[in-house]
Amino acid sequence: MEFLKAASLRRLPTSKWSLTTRRQTWTCTSCLSSSSSSPRRFTTSLPRLSSTTDLPTKPYYVTTPIFYVNAAPHIGHMYSMTLADVLKRYQSVLHSRPAILLTGTDEHGMKIQQAASNKDMHPKQFCDETAEQFKELASTAQISYNRFIRTTDTDHIQAVEHFWFLLQEKGLIYESKHEGWYSVSDEAFYPESQIEKKMDAFTGEVFMASVESGSKVEWVEERNYHFRMTALRERLLGFYRENPEWVVPAKRMGDVVDWVRNHLTDLSISRPASRLSWGVRVPGDASQTIYVWVDALINYITAAGFPNWQPGRREVGGWPADVHVIGKDIVRFHCVYWPALLLALDLPMPKKVLTHAHWTMNRTKMSKSLGNVVNPMYVMNVHGADVLRFYLMFEGGIGNDADYNNDNLLVKHKKYLQGGVGNLVSRITRSKLWDLKEIISRSPRGRIEFPEDNLATLPAIVDKHMENLDPVSALRAIMEVTTQANALLSEIEPWRLKKSTTQEDHDLADEMVCLAAESLRVCGILLQPFLPTKADQLLDMLGVLPENRTFKNTELFSDTSYGVPIANPGKGREDSLFPALYQGLQAAEEKLRTVKKERKEAKKRQRKAQRGKEVDEWWKPEASGEQS
């Protein structure tokens, strides 16, 4: 098959990026090698297989969008990352399935070129600095990615060139004059039917804008290459009919189908290098740069090993992806352009596309100009990664936008983490009135019944939500059980019953302690994908062995070996599993005040020393004119 051909094995230049390159001719150095007018030759250099028996099981493959590096990361980027990470960890940690998580940065295109120009930087230097910020965010947020891909990576550039070559071979690329409404912000052309006049509320400026995104557009006329996307209309519509639940939530599938039926046109897939020089040059035509979205989308198969797929071994790298996690603003690119490109080469489709809603601030879209963008790094530095992960997953919107509010974060933390899970684990593990290990080994039960949707059915409920790509509902179900367990514990009061003189009261107390401990154990196991650090700490406090933390261990009373803490459950509020957030906030603010005070005092000492030096200089004979 054509797509099994390997990419060109040419070596890319290894010299450093020149920072003296004129802005008007900014070009990705690794892309310049594509500018030769001679035809590309693609060779096959695949390692031989000893047999087909060593074909491993396909790993679960989940991707985030690759984030555009024209600005620093914000809370929306972390939300996409965390959603994907929870899905991956659920498979790898709970179901012991090999799993791959891909994230990264999209580094070509007009917006990058302009952003670098505004900072008087070379685009590659600009991309390097911003990509590091996204890597730092992923690391701080405990995102368990397997690869951080960048569209400036050598293997990705080769994959893009090879993909272009295959489209050309099939006669699906042609050159033509293109004219239309173009948005630099969206990196996209829009049809006339999707354009409207808008007025800037602050300046009164009237401009043409995209109905879909609201971004300003301008009329552009140029010659470039086109992809015969309209030739795939019926195949696309057929795929949607056969896979009505391909887009999650389902309500967004209607918009996708409508676009293909009523607005689909052949796609302009290159830009004149005179206008856009920062990107992958069209193989054989240095005057054109490959459209950034064609370049970007291919990253998902680059990381999965394209084009070096061996017969029968494509799934080794994970393709087809099990889930693409994206924001609702890039649905058209992933649910129209991307499947069209894959269908063109007869490549397998991703199994699902999870399209989440956005985060707002005070019900207003976050914007740097309005100053209402939430910096996730600051929140995590103050409250910790697990706290922010919890808030994003508990309050985050899949179908509808969610509103970020710091006060609400404190409320949810106090109710579900500090006063819920944290309080429950302290009550059970710290008491001297009972021997938790002895009670667990007996597993007394029979007299206490949990409310509806109880602990016994929780794992199945969570599993169903995760299967439906709804981690938000899964987390809320877990938190509801911990709330019920706390309420029941407060009602029965085993600490009071243990002081009774009757064996019946003691037996009821033991049963309540056992049930509360089981609630913590089961919920702790299910919380691992959401709260990687705190869930492990919780299970350590209970003494649950590492090998007993998978989904099969969530069956009620299936583990009677725990009860002796692996980690110290602590004694006071400060060393509890979830200390009050205001304490952490006060400590952070106090530290900041101390740092500012030290800096101020250092500047005073520096100024004082400088004044002393000036006086010494003035009193020198040479300075005063005296002779020694």
What CA–CA distance (Å, rounded) separates 593 from 394? 32
Residue 5 pLDDT class (50, 70, 90 cuts):
very low
Both 295 and 333 in a single domain? yes
Give tens-digit pLDDT for 230-282.
Answer: 999 999 999 999 999 999 999 999 999 999 999 999 999 999 999 889 999 99
Q: What is the pLDDT of residue 587?
A: 57
Please return the burial class of 488, using the count of CB atoms within 10 Å of its CB with bins 0-12, 13-18 and 19+: middle
Domain extent for 273:
58-365
Q: In this structure, are residues 209 and 217 in contact, taking their beta carbons and an 8 Å threshold?
A: yes
**Does any domain span residue 391?**
no
Q: What CATH number is attached to the domain comprising 537?
A: 1.10.730.10
Both 356 and 505 in a single domain? no
Give tens-digit pLDDT for 405-421.
Answer: 999 999 999 999 999 99
Residue 4 pLDDT class (50, 70, 90 cuts):
very low
**Does any domain span residue 38?**
no
Q: What is the mean pLDDT of the chain?
A: 85
Say how many CA atoms lie within 13 Å of 474 toward its Cβ. 26
Q: Which residue has the higher pLDDT, 177 or 607?
A: 177
What CA–CA distance (Å, rounded) separates 278 from 404? 35
Give tens-digit pLDDT for 179-209.
Answer: 767 776 666 667 777 777 777 766 667 778 7
Both 185 and 213 in a single domain? yes
Both 353 and 433 in a single domain? no
Structure tokens at 625: 């004119």
Residue 34 has pLDDT above 70, yes or no: no
Both 200 and 306 in a single domain? yes
Q: What is the pLDDT of residue 451?
A: 64
What CA–CA distance (Å, rounded) separates 22 from 57? 50
**Does any domain span residue 395?**
no
Give tens-digit pLDDT for 272-331.
Answer: 999 889 999 999 999 999 999 999 999 999 999 999 998 888 899 999 999 999 999 999
DSSP line for 273-315: TTT--SSPEETTEEEEEE-HHHHHHTHHHHTTTTT-PPTT-GG
Both 154 and 283 in a single domain? yes
Both 149 and 74 in a single domain? yes
139: left (phi over 0), alpha (psi -120 to 50) or beta: alpha
Amino acid letter, residue 99: A
Structure tokens at 546: 């590492």
Structure tokens at 170: 């099939």
**Does any domain span residue 420?**
yes
Both 551 and 568 in a single domain? yes
Q: What CATH number is attached to the domain comprising 238?
A: 3.40.50.620
**Does any domain span residue 592?**
yes
Q: What is the pLDDT of residue 20?
A: 29
Both 611 and 529 in a single domain? no
Residue 55 pLDDT class (50, 70, 90 cuts):
very low
- In sequence order, the β-bridge partners of residue 402 are 359
What CA–CA distance (Å, rounded) separates 271 from 277? 9
Task: From 190, 191, 211, 208, select the one nearest 199 (Cα to Cα).
Answer: 208
Residue 210 pLDDT class (50, 70, 90 cuts):
confident
How many other C-beta atoms lie within 10 A of the C-beta of residue 250?
A: 11
Give tens-digit pLDDT for 123-157.
Answer: 999 999 999 999 999 999 999 999 999 999 999 99
Give tens-digit pLDDT for 461-491.
Answer: 999 999 999 999 999 999 999 999 999 999 9
CA diameter of the chain: 104
Task: From 455, 585, 433, select the one nearest 510 (Cα to Cα).
Answer: 433
- Chain mean position to CA 212: 24
Question: Which strands form 402-404's sheet, in the order they lie side by side?
Answer: 364-365, 359-361, 402-404
Q: What is the pLDDT of residue 448?
A: 83
What CA–CA distance (Å, rounded) separates 93 from 538? 16
Q: What is the pLDDT of residue 53?
A: 39
Please return the burial class of 397, using the count of CB atoms within 10 Å of its CB with bins 0-12, 13-18 and 19+: middle
**Does any domain span residue 13?**
no
What is the C-alpha radius of gyration for the chain, rounded to an integer number of angstroms? 30
The full 3-state SS of 389-442, as one line of letters, equals: HHHHHHHCCCCCCEEECHHHHHHHHHHHHHHHHHHHHHHHHCCCCCCHHHHHHH
Mean pLDDT on 3-15: 35
SS3 159: helix
**Does any domain span residue 32?**
no
How many other C-beta atoms lie within 10 A of the C-beta of residue 486?
A: 18
Give tens-digit pLDDT for 499-554.
Answer: 999 999 999 999 999 999 999 999 999 999 999 999 999 999 999 999 999 999 99
Mean pLDDT on 428-440: 95
Residue 368 pLDDT class (50, 70, 90 cuts):
low
Tallying the residues shown for the chain, one arrives at 628
**Does any domain span residue 271?**
yes
- In sequence order, the β-bridge partners of residue 149 are 104
Task: From 492, 404, 485, select the one nearest 450 (Cα to Cα).
Answer: 485
Q: What is the pLDDT of residue 252?
A: 95
Residue 612 has pLDDT above 90, yes or no: no
Cα separation values, 126 from 17, 71, 377, Å: 11, 10, 20
Q: What is the pLDDT of residue 233?
A: 98
Both 310 and 429 in a single domain? no
Q: State which of 335, 365, 395 marks the end of a domain.
A: 365
Both 149 and 224 in a single domain? yes
Total domains in the fold of the chain:
3
Both 141 and 237 in a single domain? yes
